[in-house]
Structure 1
Amino acid sequence: MNTFLVILLIAAMIATVVALVRGVIAFLQNESSQVHGDGPSPSALKSNKMMQARIFFQAIAVLIVVLILFAAGRT
């Protein structure tokens, strides 16, 4: 059970880093393009979506850490 949680934690950490990198890249593309007054650009929307995904994966990683610590305390 503990090994399974560690594997899930590593997967959540990798997903967090991937979402972070994709969000930063989309943000940099947004900064390099010209800003128009027509609302958010597609790259700004993608950056926002990736940062929301990062927060989601980060929360999952924290919950898995809590589960691992809880399981370790019970043994």
Structure 2
Amino acid sequence: MHELLTVLHTRVGETGYLAAGHFTFADAQLTSTLAALRLFLRVCRALAANPQLTTYMLQHAERSSVVSTAPWSSGTKVTLAII
């Protein structure tokens, strides 16, 4: 992820845009993706500050009923990266 963000940082630093010298659909997509990433990072930091809630989330994420219905899961174990 770090490498990808570095490439994007360099690219948008050149022109202020991702794919052209003006705002394109690529910029709209990247902007919405970065907004979601920023929200995700805030949630990770908030969970890191609340270890009981993190433990709760990880414990219940292992339940078969959650694993079988979780759209983000393809049978993979849920992990939490603390940032």
- TM-score, normalised via structure 1 length: 0.43
Higher helix share: 1
Q: Greater relative contact order: 1 or 2 (C-alpha under 8 angstroms, separation 6 or more)?
A: 1
